[in-house]
């Protein structure tokens, strides 16, 4: 039973970035008529950046949990700060170039939140169904 659960978790973790990009795209499409094509593009770019960030974080955690603990912690901390600097850099670029569009990018970057909520609800429903 444990192996099946691990496979299911792995499927969910592979699906989250794809769903995040899809949600970012849909929100971006919905934003175009209200805020213009640049806002729609930045919403989609935020969703794409969020998905890439999730993939990188997942890989870093996998290396941290499976590798040599001492070197993995150093590498994990360095990668995390590099990731944080990259994220701050992207926000500063958007602030300087498109000062009125920061919220559009942030909305796209937050597209991962509804994806997590839906995946959690589906997993909870499956767990309750299994117990009955």
Residue of 65, 93, 91, 41 whose CA lies nearest to 57: 65
Q: What is the mean pLDDT of residues 111-122?
A: 92
Q: Which residue has the higher pLDDT, 75 or 40?
A: 40
Q: How many CB atoms lie within 10 A of CB 131?
A: 6
The pLDDT-based confidence of 82 (bands split at 50, 70, 90) is: confident
Q: Which residue has the higher pLDDT, 40 or 1?
A: 40
DSSP of 44-63: HHHHHHHHHHHHHHHHHHHH
The pLDDT-based confidence of 77 (bands split at 50, 70, 90) is: confident
* CB-based burial label for 76 (10 Å; 0-12, 13-18, 19+): middle
The pLDDT-based confidence of 58 (bands split at 50, 70, 90) is: confident
Q: What is the mean pLDDT of residues 84-90?
A: 87
- The verdict on pTM exceeding 0.75 is yes
pLDDT of residue 100: 84
């Amino acid at each position: 039973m444990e192996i099946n659960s691990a496979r299911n978790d792995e499927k969910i973790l592979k699906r989250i970035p794809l769903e995040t990009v899809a949600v970012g795209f849909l929100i971006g499409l919905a934003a175009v008529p209200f805020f213009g094509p640049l806002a729609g593009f930045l919403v989609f770019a935020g969703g794409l950046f969020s998905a890439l960030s999730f993939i990188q974080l997942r890989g870093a955690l996998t290396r941290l949990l499976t590798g040599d603990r001492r070197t993995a912690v150093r590498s994990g901390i360095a990668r995390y700060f590099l990731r944080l600097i990259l994220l701050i850099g992207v926000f500063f670029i958007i602030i300087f170039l498109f000062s009125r569009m920061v919220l559009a990018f942030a909305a796209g970057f937050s597209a991962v939140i509804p994806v997590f909520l839906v995946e959690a609800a589906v997993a909870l429903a499956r767990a309750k169904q299994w117990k009955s």
